[in-house]
Structure 1
């Protein structure tokens, strides 16, 4: 989701013509996102290469969680890391990567705020500027509201790992709360962006105004055709007699 947030705000920033920091070349954009994706995927490769023996790791994990659920014993459980080195590695790299993504989102958001609300350089019409402001505010809502459904469960999981406590009720609640992320994201997009909201209102209220306009237009065309045919049929054509 981090890369998608970067792409979302970068796109908004690059759509502002007066923004000197916008990415205009396709090659530059490709390399930029290739770097981001490589960092996200690449930092996970070393721990996966050094996955511990699962049976030994289960015994080590039982020292931290002495009373796990029965699925721990009867189903396949994947334990990523048990050594202190890999714990520290994951903490440091994940934190650095999150900070890097937050910095990018903050940078592009600042560019949008400056060039849409503060800068006096005018390269677009006032109407276009108004639309860009509205879409930028919708983008912020589109990003923040679903992010809440991710941050709270992740923060709870990180806290439980760091402070070494495990409560099954809290764990189940986090999973349920996290499952609403997709629903919240969809609802937010529909509500904050006017075209989607207008379309959904038409569907929910069974608005048939479009069909009425179409049928009215078709009836007008039909009447015009009939009138034209009637005039043609009533026209007296001269008859040429050959002597």
Structure 2
């Protein structure tokens, strides 16, 4: 939506940016939720969450902590003309898009910019730490110290499902990390072109489609269900075509 459609229908840049960051935070929280749920489903895990209220409180507080980054928009200057002139002082040679399109300058105060750049890695570390914690808990109880009360067949199915979750997470995350890597490279080299940024944003917007395809691909039960649907549609289409040919043949006779 934010790669052109919203701009085409006249939605403000501020709304696009705020809603985009909110969706990214929700998406990041969903990854934590997936691994936390997988970890809490293991009966022998001492860190599991058994109450819905506890889970809601934990994920709610974690999301609020990550949402602190949205406070930066309170410092967005109202006078965008002066903000653009200030941006030109700091970067006198911007790309041509700076002059051709409606540009939103979010921050001009260097102190706030420094805080935001500092909070970004903190937020990222927080998300990675939570995911890694539940991954290690699951690995520990499924592979290192498996429960004796769980049958071998059940444990193998749990391990297979866990590997599927890892795969369905890593595949779409490559698109998200492409944006992070691009930002880091630009901060170090200051040589990332606008064309590359546009390409990265298009890749970033494909995250939802890639994630859906990954979920349907890595899990055997989903693959079988999709194959049955496709096979049934092909069979029905072929059968309908055969009936049409038969009817057409009778009519021609």
Please state which band the TM-score falls in when normalised by the shorter chain. Answer: 0.7 to 0.9
- The structure richer in helix per residue is 2
Q: What residue in structure 1 maps to residue 63 of structure 2?
A: 37
Q: Does 1:68 align with 2:100?
A: no
RMSD: 2.1
Tell which deviates more after alignment, 140-149 or 166-175.
166-175
Q: Determine if the alignment matches structure 1 residue 27 to structure 2 residue 53.
A: yes
- Could you give the per-residue CA deviations for residues 126-163 of structure 1, whole angstroms, max 9, x where no partner exists? 22222211111000011111000110123203432454
Give the structure with higher Rg (CA): 1
- Report what 1:116 is aligned to: 142
Q: Quote the Cα distance in structure 2 between the aligned partners of 1:33 and 1:78.
A: 32
Deviation at 1:173, TM superposition (A): 2.0
- Give the corresponding residue for 2:36: 10
Give the TM-score of the pair, scaled to structure 1. Answer: 0.78
CA change 1:68–1:127 in 2 (3 A) is: same
Q: 1:82 is matched with which residue: 99, 108, 111?
A: 108
What SS does the corresponding residue of 2:232 show, helix, strand or coil? coil
Any idea what the Cα deviations from partners look like across 1:162-217, whole Å, max 9, x if unmatched? Answer: 543451221222123223322221111011112210011112223799xxxxxxxx
Q: Which runs of 5+ in 1 are unaligned?
A: 210-243
Between 1:148-157 and 1:13-22, the stretch displaced more is: 148-157
User: Per-residue displacement from partner, 1:30-86 (whole Å, max 9, x unpaired)?
Assistant: 1101111111222321x111112321221122342624334x335432111122212
Distance in 1 (alpha carbons) for counterparts of 2:42 and 2:204: 34
> Within 5 A, what are the aligned runs for 1:1-243?
1-45=27-71, 47-52=72-77, 53-63=79-89, 64=91, 66-70=93-97, 72-206=98-232
Q: 1:206 to 1:43 in 2, by over 3 A?
A: same
- Structure 2, unmatched stretches of 5+, are 1-26, 236-253
- The question of whether the paired residues in 1 share the 8 Å contact of 2:168 and 2:211 is answered with yes
CA distance in 2, matches of 1:81, 1:88: 10
Tell me the matched-pair count.
207
Given that residues 18 and 123 in structure 1 are in contact (C-alpha distance below 8 angstroms), is that contact kept between their aligned partners in structure 2?
no
Query: Which stretches of structure 1, 4 residues or more, deviate above 3 A after TM superposition?
Result: 72-75, 161-166
Partner-residue secondary structure (3-state), 1:88: helix
Name the stretch that deviates more: 86-95 or 101-110.
Answer: 86-95
